[in-house]
Amino acid sequence: MAPFRDRAAAAATGAATSTTVSRLLLLLAVLSTCLMAAKVSPLIEKVEDHKEFKKLVRTRNNVLVVYSKSAAAAERSLKLLSDVAEAVKGQGTIAWVNCGDGESRKLCKKIKVDPHSKRNGVELLHYKDGAFHTEYNRPETHKSVVAFMRDPEGAPLWEENPEARDVAHIDSEKEFRKLLKKEERTILVMFYAPWCGVCKRMKPAFQQAATDLKGSYVLAGMNVHPAEFDGIKQEFNVKGYPTFCYFDKGKFLFNFENYGATAQDFVEWMKNPQAPQPKALEAPWAEQDSAVFHLTDDSFDSFVTEHPSVLAMFYAPWCGHCKKMKPDYEEAAELLNTDDNSPGVLAAVDVTTHKNLGEKYQITGFPTLKYFENAEEKYTLPHLRTKDKIIEWLHNPQAPPPPEQSWEEQQSSVNHLGVEDFKEFLKKKKHALVMFYAPWCPHCKNAVPYFTAAAEHFKEERKIAYAAVDCTRGQNNELCKVEGVEGYPTISYYNYGKFTEKYSGERGGDGFIEYMEGLRGRGHDKIGKRGEEL
């Protein structure tokens, strides 16, 4: 009987040990969860059911949600985001959903989120104005996440580009002063703004030069657009972007002013830096030897009274279109002045100096050409731009053709958007192709009929849209800068308001239609479903 009792006692002891181990493991798991919870900022909101989730995204307009397969998987992200939550307090909200826990598991299933499919068991999704906005796919660093939360639709930070690893990225005035004080090598600093088109165009050459010059010289970049850097902008005369400043032993010497520079141009200049050559100032047009009669607020009325036929150009000295037209206008004036049977004379008015005339004749754009007959304003002539056209028209003055109807005024299925409705409209469309254009752009004009035809083709499709933005109207210019428009037309594809790619297909024929029909075959129908479930 003894052996039997020994075996029974051993079994009982083993069972007791197993129970104790299980309890210890459970206790350790609870303690681990409590310890992790202690590291999580109270500013991170824990969401556990669908009702809480809907309330959160409905009442907050800038929310980043951490979905995790378990509490342990979320530990690293929550530690980082605790600091982020503190930095963006009042500007954005960080929330956490543990998809491996009770009711939260049902929530994740309902909104079709599965962090188990992610390599680290965590997925970060952003919600804006009550709807899904985008998946966070930028580096999980404090600086990157804070920048994203402060401007969820802004461009990624320059330092997030791996090709810019050798650029010294400066984040604060303190860092800037420290660099100037301690760095013994010469420094070229690019002061820039994230939205600046010229900056974007020059960054690849600048960062390649930084790599080529690594160890010998310092090429640095600093976003000085925020108001906190107004002092630096004033100190170094930063009046536009980009501004390049060259420093030696902490002292500013001069600017680099080649805005079409290649990487090699930067490299050669850094090895032999030279101050920019002073530009010869061009005398104002009115002070040049000119065949055009330059009129003032005081002389205008008497001049048009003395001359029965006057064509007057109202201009601004800085206006590019005026400068382009000036040679033709001068040549036409010379020919008219030497013609014994001249049909009229040409005059010009600098409206930035003679503002009363600008107000009197309601000049709102440059150049504006007006024809005066016997001292009376008769026609405004937007179609006269060349020497031959000007002379031909003066020999036979006729009313100008009626203004061409703008694209926006034409009846079509294209949605014309502006800064006030751009985001709201696009976030409701699964597939949207947007043409950013300028009314004067010939390539835009050529593409308009085909783009309009494509919009008509899909007009019954509620989730498909063809839209257009006139970048020259009102505040649309800033919108176009934010959307990366550097030339016209720029055509971009958006999925539920999220920029996905630039259109690079045919701008004629059925190119716009075929592109949209091809989206389904490329898997784009899967994008944005989270937004539909909210």
* Tens-digit pLDDT string for the chain (534 aa): 455 445 555 555 555 455 555 555 455 444 444 444 445 678 899 999 999 999 998 888 899 999 999 999 999 999 999 999 988 888 899 999 999 888 899 999 989 899 988 888 999 999 988 889 888 988 888 888 998 998 888 778 888 888 899 999 998 999 999 999 999 999 999 999 887 878 888 999 999 999 999 999 999 999 998 888 999 999 999 988 899 999 999 999 999 999 889 999 999 999 999 998 876 667 899 888 999 999 999 999 999 999 999 999 999 898 878 998 999 999 999 999 999 999 999 999 999 999 999 999 988 888 999 999 999 999 999 888 899 999 999 999 999 887 778 899 899 999 999 988 999 999 999 999 999 999 888 899 999 999 999 999 999 998 999 999 999 887 888 899 889 898 899 999 999 999 999 998 899 889 999 999 988 655 444 333 333 334
pTM of structure: 0.46
Greatest CA separation for the chain:
143
Instruction: Please give the pLDDT value at position 200.
Output: 86
Whats the size of the chain, residue-wise?
534
Residues with active-site annotation: 196, 199, 319, 322
pLDDT value for 430? 93
What is the C-alpha to C-alpha distance for residues 379 and 383, in angstroms, rounded to an integer? 11
Strand intervals (E) in 249-306? 251-256, 293-294
Residue 532 corresponds to which tokens in the numbers above?
């539909």
Q: Which domains does the chain have, with CATH numbers?
A: 45-150 (3.40.30.10), 158-271 (3.40.30.10), 286-395 (3.40.30.10), 411-528 (3.40.30.10)
Spell out the residues 6+ positions from residue 18 whose beta carbon is closer than 8 angstroms to its own.
none
- Give the Cα separation of 355 and 405 in Å (integer): 30
| Coil/strand/helix, residue 495 | strand
